[in-house]
Amino acid sequence: MKERKARNNNIFVTLIVLIGISIASLLLDQLGVLDGVKSASESLQSGYRVVIKKRVDKFEEIFEIIGDLNNLKTERDKYQSQVEDLNTEVVDLQAEIRELEVYKTQLEVSFAPSYKLVPAQIIRISSEESGVFYINKGTNNGLEKGDVVVYKAYALGEIIEISSRSAKVRSIFSKDTKISAISTSGVKGVLVSEQGVRLKVEKILSNEVLTIGDKFMTLGINSNYPADLYLGQVKEISEFPSQTTKEVILETEINPFNLREVFVLDYED
C-alpha cells in the first residue's frame, strides 16, 4: 500500500516537472530566447543537408562514370570482336588470293581437253606409310580412284583410296610406284622409288644413250598417268657391263611433301 502511494507520488511529481518545462519552453520561445539555438540547429541541419547532397551527387557521378565505363567496355568488346572477324576474313582472302595465283600458274600448263583441273590441298602426310599423303577433295568433287595429282607439269601421285570429302594419294616417292617413263630423247624405262627416298628409272636398255641432265616424262601407257608429265632429270647413270639393262637416278625440283596446293587431273569421258 505504501509502495503504491509512493509510486503515484513520483508520477505526479514527474508530470508537474514536465508541465513546468513545457510552459518554460513556450515562454522562452515567445521571448525569443531560443531563436539563437533554433538558428544554430537549423544551420547545422542545413550544413548536414549540403554535405549529404554533395555526397549523393558524388555517388551519382561515380555511378554515371561506372555506367560509362561499362558502356565503353561493351563497345570495346564489340569492336574487338569485329576486328577478330576482319582478321579472319583477311586470312581467308589471303588464302584465296594464293590459291588463285597458284591456279593461274597451273593454267599456263596445257593438258588434253579430256582432263579438268580440280584444285585441292594436302591436309596430311601419312606417318604410317612412306610416300603417302591425303588431300581435301573426294567423290563429292567428282574425283575417283586412279585420278592423278599434279603441280604445274610435275607428276605427284595418284589416288588409291577415296571418300566423299578426302582422298589418299600414293606419291611417286612411294616404294610401290611403277610408272612407264620416257626421256626427251626417246629412251624408255620404268620409274620406281628407291627405298621410298629417291627416284630412279630402271630397265633401260644398255645400248641406249643418256647423259646427265636428260629429262624423263611419263610415257602414258600401263599406268593411270597421262603422257608428258614431268618426273625429273638424270643425276647419275649406273651401267652394268654384264647386264642388258642400266638405270639412272633422277632429281626433281618438286617434292610433294613440301607443297600445300595441288591439282587433280579429273578425266572426263
* Mean pLDDT, the chain, whole residue set: 81
pTM passes above 0.85: no
pLDDT recorded at residue 209: 93
pLDDT at 176 over 80: yes
Phi, psi of 242 (to 5 degrees): -85, 0
pLDDT recorded at residue 95: 66
Question: Of 221 and 51, which is predicted with more confidence?
Answer: 221
Q: What SS3 class is residue 103? A: helix
All three cell numbers of 229:
608429265
Question: Of 133 and 78, which is predicted with more confidence?
Answer: 133
CB atoms near residue 204 (< 10 Å) = 24
The percent of residues above 70 in pLDDT, for the chain, comes to: 73
Q: How confident is the model over 115-131, as a mean pLDDT?
A: 90
Q: How confident is the model over 160-164, as a mean pLDDT?
A: 96
198/175 Cα distance (integer angstroms):
10
Q: How confident is the model over 40-68, as a mean pLDDT?
A: 67
CB atoms near residue 220 (< 10 Å) = 16
pLDDT at 47 over 70: no
Q: How confident is the model over 185-211, as a mean pLDDT?
A: 91
pLDDT at 165 over 70: yes
pLDDT recorded at residue 247: 95
The percent of residues above 90 in pLDDT, for the chain, comes to: 44
CB atoms near residue 162 (< 10 Å) = 20
Which of 7-11, 49-53, 61-65, 124-128 is predicted least confidently? 7-11
Residues 6+ apart with CB under 8 A from 214: 183, 184, 185, 187, 233, 234, 248
Residue ranges per domain, the chain?
115-267
Q: Is 259 exposed, middle or buried (0-12, 13-18, 19+ CB in 10 A)?
A: middle
All three cell numbers of 199:
627416284
Q: How far is CA 257 from the centre of its chain?
A: 21
All three cell numbers of 258:
613440301
pLDDT recorded at residue 174: 93
Q: What SS3 class is residue 52? A: helix
Which CATH superfamily includes the segment(s) 115-267?
Rod shape-determining protein MreC, domain 1 (2.40.10.340)
Q: What SS3 class is residue 140? A: helix
Question: Of 195 and 32, which is predicted with more confidence?
Answer: 195
204 contacts 168 by C-beta, under 8 angstroms: no
List Cα–Cα distances, 13 to 3, 9, 10, 215, in angstroms: 15, 6, 5, 134
- How many helices (H) and strands (E) in the chain? 2, 12
Tell me which residue of 94, 150, 140 sits closest to 119, measured CA to CA: 150
206 contacts 243 by C-beta, under 8 angstroms: yes
